[in-house]
Amino acid sequence: QKEVEQNSGPLSVPEGAIASLNCTYSDRGSQSFFWYRQYSGKSPELIMFIYSNGDKEDGRFTAQLNKASQYVSLLIRDSQPSDSATYLCAVNDGGDDKIIFGKGTRLHILP
Amino acid sequence: DADVTQTPRNRITKTGKRIMLECSQTKGHDRMYWYRQDPGLGLRLIYYSFDVKDINKGEISDGYSVSRQAQAKFSLSLESAIPNQTALYFCATSDGLAGFNHEQFFGPGTRLTVL
């Protein structure tokens, strides 16, 4: 069974600090990695996509990928209350083009 | 207008009733998916379709069926609803020609309650 593991949280971070979210995956054939943000009762929306080892930055968000360790992370700099949400890590199934989602980490930014 | 739409947005039904959830997209994507989301269990794949003639079971297909009526339409049916099918249901689409980027675009969701 291919799995994507995340700490369910909640992760509480003071406003203005860096939030660090982590994810591990089991399928070594995976090539594409995603971070989705989901507000309560709403649909997931993509915030980061990465497929190469290393870091990818987009505004306050940085995704980090280490394929050797099967580890992907998301850093949120200068955290804002509007960043409070559940963050879903997702990984493509190396056998086909489905995506496997983790169960999500709840992030709470403390004002 | 939204790129991925779902109808109805909310539905309350009784055990044993047949229910159909509909999904339409204007993104021109070939791939469509149905997920359910339950608290603490994340998104679980019910069925997916990579083109009109392709239908595949996901990890939790029992009790569900689907129909891909056209490239833009993918419906999910519960033939005889039961209370443990109470959940938030999402339809999603993706572009099969997008290379490594398998990004999925989600509809707004249907909240289904089975009494």
Determine whether the interchain pair B101/A98 forms a contact, defined as Cβ–Cβ distance below 8 Å: no
Determine whether the interchain pair B106/A45 forms a contact, defined as Cβ–Cβ distance below 8 Å: yes
Give CA–CA dist B89/B66, Å, rounded.
Answer: 13
Instruction: Check pLDDT > 90 for residue B22.
Output: yes
What pLDDT sits at residue B97? 73
What pLDDT sits at residue B40? 81
Instruction: Check pLDDT > 70 for residue B1.
Output: no
Give the count of beta carbons closer than 10 Å to the beta carbon of residue A37: 21
CB within 8 A of B98, min separation 6: which ones? none
Say if A46 is an interface residue toward chain B (CB within 8 Å). Answer: yes
Give CA–CA dist A11/A23, Å, rounded.
Answer: 14
Q: Are A101 and A23 a contacting pair, CB within 8 Å? A: no
Place of tokens 């509809």: B107
Q: Tell me: the pLDDT tens digits for A6-16?
A: 998 899 999 99
DSSP B84: G
Determine whether the interchain pair A104/B42 forms a contact, defined as Cβ–Cβ distance below 8 Å: yes
What pLDDT sits at residue B102? 77
Give CA–CA dist B38/B20, Å, rounded.
Answer: 19
Task: Report, as an integer, the average pLDDT of B47-68.
Answer: 94
Q: How far is B16 from chain A (nearest CA, A)?
A: 26
What pLDDT sits at residue B41? 83
Say if A8 is an interface residue toward chain B (CB within 8 Å). Answer: yes
| Preferred mutation among A98, A100, A103 to probe B, highest tally of B CBs within 10 A | A98
Instruction: Check pLDDT > 90 for residue B96.
Output: no
Q: Tell me: the pLDDT tens digits for A53-100?
A: 999 999 999 999 999 999 999 999 999 999 999 999 999 887 677 889
CB within 8 A of A45, min separation 6: which ones? A36, A37, A38, B106
The number of C-alpha atoms within 13 Å of B10 and in the hemisphere containing its C-beta is 2
Average pLDDT, chain B: 93
Residue B79 pLDDT grade (very low, low, confident, very high; cuts 50, 70, 90)? very high
Average pLDDT, chain A: 93
What pLDDT sits at residue A29? 87
Instruction: Check pLDDT > 80 for residue B2.
Output: no
Determine whether the interchain pair B100/A43 forms a contact, defined as Cβ–Cβ distance below 8 Å: no
